[in-house]
């Protein structure tokens, strides 16, 4: 049974997935967004979900993180049905950064990151010495330690996103789910945030994210999940997955896939209508 | 991104055995000063009247070491009024702090959400339709329970109308405003079609007043508020991450829908208790949490400090109405004069952003 849900990592090693969806059907009201979907998140790598607008990328991520309850099927976290786990226990294993979160005006960086310790605290134990250490490390790792006393709303978009990732890190989980971490960021800041995500992966964490930009997804992930209309169209290493045919099938996009001049991954060059040499 | 040990300033912690919390000196200091100020105004309120009693004599009497004459005036005549001010102020301030936090919007106070207006409409209904005689038999406790039910009913109505796969702060406010308008229309219609003597009775109550409070009413309000305070304190911990939004809170292990339902119910009940004891005193619940936030310099409404500012505001306004203004105006007039401009300030600030 386990073999069915294992995935092939880059090294070709068979590993038990940390997180997997088994035949999930998810919808809002009568509208079904995802139907009978299977997907597995291999440990220790960056998995990125891509697909056209409205294909159910975020819905899948939200279901994997237990924000949404599937109408059918189940999500399995470390071998257990996530729906049967306590919310707090899920929060100790899985860190989640939703799309475009907003902090209250005036909340400082240190206070926001400190909230990440919530799953480990209780009414009586609201701030232990462990908490201070973990928060300090999270701030340092994301490079925002110097901003600790600044209000979050006074920071630039890129810094702000680093702070939110820092909060998710302070949660102390080695499994991170990021919903479009580069939304509203310019390309330089998006690269900056994705480099940080790669640092997290290098330090042994498993990352699942949703990205809009196909070339960034190709560059930064080891495992791509390509979705269309609520189903997984293809899954695997970008080198194996990204082809002109797949892009046309998934996005209806005419594109040329070439070798990335600076990397060892494919590069997507979209073919539009204007300024194209025939 | 350097690996050097960061010199980030962490909030300092306090540990007492198993108990630990973040030490915030400014928050504690301001809260203590507010508590002291509330007690001072409370004593002043008892001292002021046709038979003035000095502050030291009031305090002595409160601690059971006063003269017999003072004891009668303080404990039997003036205490209910001052206590009602204290309890209602705390209830309204805390209620506002909760609704503003849950909706993540400074405009979401029980006044705006229709709770106070709904309580008023039901109370007026009781006064006008049952006629003066029946209402007199039911007594003011009957009026209070009607207001309590009205506030609770309106609160639930707004909550369920605003419910659509979760509660959105902005939708809550918009629905609250329309329900408020409806309740106001009901009140106006009841007053227009009622007997003139009943209208006079209802009008006095509708402005919000601490006049003629009895020990019975104060006792009911006290116990209700105390129970609600305990419940709010119990859910205050899971409430902490909810200022960051539903999704983030869920990611941090909070069952936000449940916590929010409990808190909103507490807020509605607190507001309804306040209104049932003193009438729909306007703006206290809106202003108190915002003032407390600015005093404590905290990004979200602090619960305890908001309650204390509410008490300070209500007793202080009552004191101004009785001691400074020439004619004995009900306290609601003074809070409206303070609160109206503050609401305008909040609206202007919200528009500037």
With an 8 Å Cβ cutoff, is B104 touching chain A?
yes
The answer on pLDDT for A198 being more than 90 is: yes
Chain A residues whose beta carbon lies within 8 Å of the beta carbon of residue B251 = 65, 67, 91, 95-98, 168, 171
Task: Give residues with Cβ within 8 angstroms of B4, minimum separation 6.
Answer: A140
- Residue B280 has a pLDDT of 84
Comparing A219-228, B90-99, B339-348, the range with the smallest average pLDDT is B339-348
Radius of gyration of chain A from its Cα atoms, rounded to whole angstroms:
19
Beta-carbon-side half-sphere exposure of residue A106 (alpha carbons within 13 Å): 8
Predicted confidence band at B140 (pLDDT cuts at 50, 70, 90)? low
The answer on pLDDT for A8 being more than 70 is: no
- Residue B145 has a pLDDT of 79
- Between B146 and B133, the more confident residue is B146
| Spatial contact of B85 and B45, defined as CB atoms under 8 Å apart | yes
Structure tokens at B21: 């919390």
Check residue A144 and report its DSSP letter. -
What's this model's pTM, rounded to 2 decimal places?
0.87
The tens digit of pLDDT for each residue in B17-76 reads: 777 788 888 899 999 999 999 999 999 999 888 888 888 888 888 888 878 888 888 888
The tens digit of pLDDT for each residue in A110-128 reads: 999 999 999 998 888 888 8
Cα separation, A227 vs A12, in Å, equals: 23
Interface contact flag, A148 B18, Cβ < 8 Å: no
- Percentage of residues in chain B having pLDDT higher than 90: 34
Q: Most B CBs within 10 Å: which of A126, A138, A202, as the mutation test of the B interface?
A: A126
The answer to whether residue B253 is domain-embedded is yes
Interface contact flag, A139 B300, Cβ < 8 Å: no
- Between B180 and A13, the more confident residue is B180
Distance of CA A31 to the CA centre of its chain: 24
Check residue A123 and report its DSSP letter. S
CATH number at B244 reads: 1.10.3470.10
Give which of A65, A78, A52, A53 is closest to A26, Cα–Cα.
A65
**β partners of residue A108:** A151
The answer to whether residue B39 is domain-embedded is no
Distances from the Cα of A219 to the Cα of A182, A202, A260, angstroms: 14, 15, 9
The number of folded domains in chain B is 1
Structure tokens at B30: 């301001």
**β partners of residue A225:** A49, A235
Show contacts of A203-207: CB within 8 Å, 24+ apart.
A203/A141, A204/A44, A204/A174, A205/A44, A205/A174, A205/A175, A205/A176, A206/A18, A206/A19, A206/A41, A206/A42, A206/A43, A206/A44, A206/A45, A206/A47, A206/A174, A206/A175, A206/A176, A207/A45, A207/A46, A207/A47, A207/A176, A207/A177, A207/A178
Window A:159-188, CB contacts with B under 8 Å: 168, 171
- Closest-CA distance, A234 to chain B, in angstroms, reads 28
The answer to whether residue B56 is domain-embedded is no
Tokens 């005419």 locate to: A254
Interface contact flag, B11 A106, Cβ < 8 Å: no
A171 → closest Cβ in B19, B234, B252 = B252
- Residue A248 has a pLDDT of 93
Structural domain boundaries, residue B114: 85-352
Tell me the CA end-to-end span of chain A in Å, nearest whole number.
52
The tens digit of pLDDT for each residue in A215-231 reads: 999 999 999 999 999 89
- Residue B40 has a pLDDT of 95
Give which of B239, B272, B301, B241 is closest to B94, Cα–Cα.
B301
Predicted confidence band at B257 (pLDDT cuts at 50, 70, 90)? confident
- Residue B8 has a pLDDT of 53
- Average confidence score pLDDT of chain A: 88
The tens digit of pLDDT for each residue in B209-227 reads: 788 778 888 888 999 999 9
Give which of B244, B8, B2, B12 is closest to A164, Cα–Cα.
B244
Cβ-Cβ pairs closer than 8 A, A with B, add up to: 134
Window B:224-253, CB contacts with A under 8 Å: 234, 236-237, 240-241, 243-245, 247-248, 250-253
The tens digit of pLDDT for each residue in A152-177 reads: 999 998 899 999 999 999 998 989 99
Cα separation, B337 vs B166, in Å, equals: 36
The answer to whether residue B101 is domain-embedded is yes
- Length of chain A in terms of residues written: 278
| Spatial contact of A132 and A110, defined as CB atoms under 8 Å apart | no
Q: What is the ipTM of this complex?
A: 0.87
Cα separation, A57 vs B241, in Å, equals: 26
- Average confidence score pLDDT of chain B: 85
Interface contact flag, B251 A95, Cβ < 8 Å: yes
- Residue A11 has a pLDDT of 43
Tell me the CA end-to-end span of chain B in Å, nearest whole number.
33
With an 8 Å Cβ cutoff, is B2 touching chain A?
yes
Residue range A1-94+173-236 forms a domain whose CATH class is alpha beta
The answer on pLDDT for B203 being more than 70 is: yes
The answer to whether residue B17 is domain-embedded is no
Q: Where are the domains of chain A?
A: 1-94+173-236, 104-172
- Residue B138 has a pLDDT of 56
Distances from the Cα of B112 to the Cα of A32, B174, B202, B265, B337, angstroms: 37, 9, 21, 16, 17
With an 8 Å Cβ cutoff, is A65 touching chain B?
yes
With an 8 Å Cβ cutoff, is B294 touching chain A?
no
Check residue B85 and report its DSSP letter. H
Please name the residue of chain A whose CA is at the shortest distance from the CA of residue B244: A103
With an 8 Å Cβ cutoff, is A150 touching chain B?
no
Interface contact flag, B8 A110, Cβ < 8 Å: yes
The answer on pLDDT for A3 being more than 50 is: no
Q: What is the mean pLDDT of residues B247-266?
A: 91
Task: Give residues with Cβ within 8 angstroms of B85, minimum separation 6.
Answer: B42, B45, B210, B278, B311, B314, B315, B318, B331
The tens digit of pLDDT for each residue in B108-139 reads: 888 888 888 898 888 888 877 765 555 554 56
With an 8 Å Cβ cutoff, is A125 touching chain B?
yes
Q: What is the mean pLDDT of residues B102-109?
A: 87
Interface contact flag, B250 A131, Cβ < 8 Å: no
**β partners of residue A72:** A25
Task: Give residues with Cβ within 8 angstroms of B268, minimum separation 6.
Answer: B95, B110, B115, B151, B152, B155, B156, B159
- Closest-CA distance, B295 to chain A, in angstroms, reads 13
The answer on pLDDT for B77 being more than 70 is: yes
Structure tokens at A21: 């969806």
The tens digit of pLDDT for each residue in A36-94 reads: 999 999 999 999 999 999 888 999 999 999 999 999 999 999 888 998 999 899 999 99
Q: Most B CBs within 10 Å: which of A124, A199, A202, as the mutation test of the B interface?
A: A124
Q: What is the mean pLDDT of residues A121-148?
A: 87
Interface contact flag, A136 B10, Cβ < 8 Å: yes
- Residue A50 has a pLDDT of 94
Structure tokens at A225: 């999940």
A139 → closest Cβ in B8, B20, B241 = B8
With an 8 Å Cβ cutoff, is B24 touching chain A?
no
Give which of A50, A55, A53 is closest to A246, Cα–Cα.
A50
The tens digit of pLDDT for each residue in A18-49 reads: 899 999 999 888 888 998 999 999 999 999 99
């Amino acid at each position: 049974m386990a073999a069915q849900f294992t995935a092939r990592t880059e090294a070709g090693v068979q590993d038990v997935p940390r997180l997997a969806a088994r035949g999930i059907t998810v919808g809002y009201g009568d509208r079904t967004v995802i139907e009978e979907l299977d997907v597995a998140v291999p440990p220790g790598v960056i998995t990125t979900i891509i697909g056209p607008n409205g294909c159910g990328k975020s819905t899948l991520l939200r279901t994997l993180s237990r924000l949404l309850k599937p109408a059918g099927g189940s999500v399995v976290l470390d071998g257990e049905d996530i729906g049967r786990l306590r919310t707090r226990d899920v929060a100790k294993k899985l860190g989640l950064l939703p799309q475009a979160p907003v902090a209250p005006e005036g909340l400082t960086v240190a206070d926001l990151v400190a909230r990440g310790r919530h799953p480990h605290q209780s009414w009586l134990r609201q701030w232990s010495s462990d908490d201070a250490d973990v928060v300090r490390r999270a701030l340092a790792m994301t490079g925002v330690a110097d901003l600790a006393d600044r209000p979050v709303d006074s920071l630039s978009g890129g810094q702000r996103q680093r702070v939110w990732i820092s909060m998710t890190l302070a949660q102390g989980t080695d499994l991170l789910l990021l919903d479009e971490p580069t939304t509203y960021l310019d390309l330089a800041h998006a690269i900056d945030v994705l480099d940080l995500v790669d640092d997290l992966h290098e330090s042994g964490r498993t990352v699942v994210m949703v990205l809009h930009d196909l070339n960034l997804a190709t560059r930064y992930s080891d495992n791509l999940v390509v979705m269309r209309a609520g189903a997984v169209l293809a899954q695997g290493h970008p080198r194996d997955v990204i082809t002109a045919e797949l892009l046309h099938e998934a996005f209806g996009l005419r594109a040329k896939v070439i070798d990335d001049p600076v990397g060892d991954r494919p590069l997507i060059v979209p073919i539009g209508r204007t300024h194209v040499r025939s | 991104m350097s690996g050097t040990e960061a010199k980030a300033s962490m909030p300092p912690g306090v540990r007492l055995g198993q108990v630990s919390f973040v030490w915030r000196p400014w928050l504690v200091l301001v809260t203590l000063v507010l508590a002291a100020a509330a007690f001072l105004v409370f004593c002043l309120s008892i001292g002021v009247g046709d038979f003035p009693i000095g502050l030291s004599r009031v305090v002595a009497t409160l601690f059971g070491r006063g003269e017999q004459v003072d004891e009668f005036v303080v404990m039997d005549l003036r205490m209910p009024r001052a206590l009602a001010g204290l309890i209602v102020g705390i209830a309204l301030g805390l209620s506002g702090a909760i609704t503003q936090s849950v909706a993540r919007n400074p405009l979401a106070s029980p006044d705006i959400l229709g709770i106070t207006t709904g309580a008023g409409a039901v109370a007026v209904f009781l006064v006008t339709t049952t006629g003066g005689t029946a209402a007199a038999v039911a007594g003011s406790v009957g009026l209070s329970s009607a207001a309590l039910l009205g506030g609770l009913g309106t609160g639930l109505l707004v909550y369920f109308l605003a419910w659509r796969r979760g509660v959105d702060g902005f939708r809550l406010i918009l629905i609250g405003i329309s329900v408020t308008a409806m309740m106001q229309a009901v009140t106006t219609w009841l007053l227009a079609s009622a007997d003139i003597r009943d209208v006079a009775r209802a009008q006095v109550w509708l402005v919000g007043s601490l006049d003629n409070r009895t020990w019975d009413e104060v006792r009911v309000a006290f116990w209700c508020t105390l129970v609600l305070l305990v419940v709010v304190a119990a859910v205050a911990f899971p409430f902490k991450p909810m200022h960051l939004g539903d999704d983030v809170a869920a990611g941090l292990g909070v069952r936000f829908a449940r916590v929010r339902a409990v808190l909103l119910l507490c807020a509605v009940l607190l507001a309804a208790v306040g209104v049932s004891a003193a009438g729909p005193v306007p703006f206290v619940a809106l202003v108190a949490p915002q003032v407390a936030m600015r005093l404590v310099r905290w990004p979200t409404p602090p619960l305890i400090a908001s309650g204390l500012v509410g008490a300070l505001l209500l007793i202080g306004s009552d004191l101004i109405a009785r001691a400074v203004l020439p004619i004995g105006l009900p306290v609601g007039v003074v809070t409206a004069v303070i609160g109206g401009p503050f609401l305008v300030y909040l609206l202007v600030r919200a528009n500037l952003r």
